[in-house]
Amino acid sequence: MSESIYFIDTNIFLYSVGRDHPLKPASINAIHRIRDGQITAVINTEIIQEILYHFQSTKQLPIGIRLAKDAVSIAARIFPVEEIDLSLAIEFLESYPKIQARDAFHAATMIRNRIKEIISTDPHFDLIHEIKRIDPTKLS
């Protein structure tokens, strides 16, 4: 198992099961590396909520439930979003107004739990100086 711990963004899970897309192979590779123990992955409860919301809104809830269960099963840890994260997420939104609110919550959860890196296709995470985004196409 690797020494680094990576937060896994929702888009990695979604691309891994979605229709053909240029990011699908890299996302599948990231998931395989997590399953094989090459990557230690953590998520927060919001990742599961996002997966379920996405598939429920596209009327594909059974797929979302399977993917949510898979995400839970491969994560080394699932962090709750706590009250302290609210303040930090709001600070991130004030400091980095181009990021999405849900991404601010992910970053806040990461900082509170001393997670420095996120595997994500979302370049908005590059704006948050406190964390480092790893593009799944560049996983070493």
Q: Where are the domains of the chain?
A: 5-138
pTM of the model: 0.94
Comparing CA positions, the residue from 58, 56, 42 lying closest to residue 7 is 42
Q: Read off the DSSP letter of residue 32.
A: H
pLDDT at 87: 95
Neighbours of 37 (CB within 10 A): 11
Radius of gyration, CA atoms only, the chain:
14
15 forms bridges with which residues in the sheet?
none
Per-residue pLDDT of the chain (140 residues; tens, 9 = 90+): 346 899 999 999 999 999 999 999 999 999 999 999 999 999 999 999 999 999 999 999 999 999 999 999 999 999 999 999 999 999 999 999 999 999 999 999 999 999 999 999 999 999 999 999 999 999 86
- How many helices (H) and strands (E) the chain has is answered by 6, 5
pLDDT at 3: 67
CA 114 and chain centroid, separation: 15
What is the helix (H) or strand (E) element at residue 15, kind and residue range?
Answer: helix 10-17
pLDDT at 80: 97
pLDDT at 1: 37
pLDDT at 2: 43
Q: How far apart are CA 43 and CA 94, in angstroms?
A: 24
CATH of 5-138, one of 1.20.1090.10, 2.40.40.20, 3.40.50.1010, 3.40.630.30: 3.40.50.1010
pLDDT at 140: 66
